Structure 1
Amino acid sequence: MKSNAEIVREAYRLAEGNILDGQGFRTLFTEDGTFNDLPNSLTFRGDQIPQALAGLASAFPDIHRELLEVHAIGDVVAVELRIQGTHLGGFPTPIGEIPPTGNRIDVPTADLWYLREGKIETFNCYNAANVWLAQLGADPDFESAIEAAKTAATGG
């Protein structure tokens, strides 16, 4: 039987842009397993899990995860990594898609994997979404946020 760290390393391998095996990735999860993209408040279950990988790979076909540290502590595997790739496809946002920019991304990320009996039960991804968006040229609009807060505070 593979160790928890080996299972997680296999998950990363299957999610690489040059391999991208969403169904293989899915089989590493329990039947009710979840993939949580915490910065974006997204949860994927079941057949949504491979779709999430395919969606990201459509925006970054050469997506790669550079694993910096992998630590297995019982049924938990903690990974420090960098998500890297080239923005060659549309990147979805709540108000529309960011068209391909050709920009390279190199996003600091921490992932927590919770396993049960050799299967992934929960995968929590904590990527630095602000860094990711800035690298795509989508800097936050602080001026509008400040004005909206002022208007709300005055009841206007």
Structure 2
Amino acid sequence: MTSNEEVVREAYRLAEGSVLDGEGFRALFTEDGTFNDVPNALTFLADQIPQALAGLASAFPDIHRDLLAVHAIGDVVAVELRIQGTHLGGFPTPIGEIGPTGHRIDVPTADLWYLREGKIETFNCYNAANVWLAQLGASPDFESAIEAAKTASAGA
């Protein structure tokens, strides 16, 4: 019998840029399993899950997850990790794509995996999106945010 930790470690292996097996990754999930990119408010269901992996790998073909700590507690596996790679493809944002920069990323992340009967039911990825974007050279535009807040409070 495969342990929950082994299932999760296999998921990470299949998501590596050097392996990238989206269908194999998807097969580790329950039929109604979900992958949630929490900081970006994105949820991937069923056949969207391999597409999400492929999309990320197209931006970072050498993507790697450096697992720092793995804790299996019953049907929950908590992982502290760093997502690493080189930005060699387009990276989508809500207002357009960030073209390849060649920048290396090293993003602190925490993942929570919820399993049922040896299959992944829910995968919640909490990546430090602000760090990720800063490493791509897309720092927040605080000046515009401050101006928008002034305009909003003046109209209230």
Please give the TM-score of this superposition, normalised by the length of structure 2.
0.99
CA apart distance, 1:18: 0.5
Alignment-derived partner of residue 39 in structure 1: 39
Partner of 1:62: 62
The answer for the alignment partner of 1:134 in structure 2 is 134
Rounded to whole Å, the distance in 2 between the matches of 1:139 and 1:124 is 24
CA distance in 2, matches of 1:139, 1:31: 38
Equivalent in the alignment of 1:75: 75
User: Paired residue for 1:152?
Assistant: 152
CA distance, structure 2, for counterparts of residue 23 and residue 139 of structure 1: 34
| CA distance in 2 between partners of 1:78 and 1:25 (Å) | 18
Deviation sequence 1:69-110 (CA, Å, 0-9, x none): 000000000000000000000000000000000000000000
Aligned to 2:18: 18
**Counterparts of 1:25 and 1:65, CA distance in 2:** 15
Structure 1 residue runs without a partner (length 5+): none
Structure 1 counterpart of 2:102: 102
Residue 50 of structure 1 aligns to a residue in which SS? Answer: helix
Percent of residue pairs identical: 88
Residues 28-69 of structure 1, C-alpha deviation per residue, up to 9 Å, x if partnerless?
000000000000000000000000000000000000000000
Aligned residues: 156
Aligned-partner residue type, residue 14 of structure 2: L
Return the alpha-carbon distance in structure 1 between the equivalents of residues 77 and 139 of structure 2.
32
Task: Please state how far the C-alpha of 1:154 moved relative to its aligned partner.
Answer: 0.7
Distance 1:133 1:16 in 2: 21
Q: Which amino acid aligns with 2:103?
A: N
Alpha-carbon distance between aligned partners in 1 of 2:92 and 2:135, rounded to the nearest angstrom:
15
Aligned to 1:3: 3
1:21: how far off?
0.1
The two structures, once aligned, show a CA RMSD in angstroms of: 0.7
When normalised by structure 1's length, the TM-score is 0.99
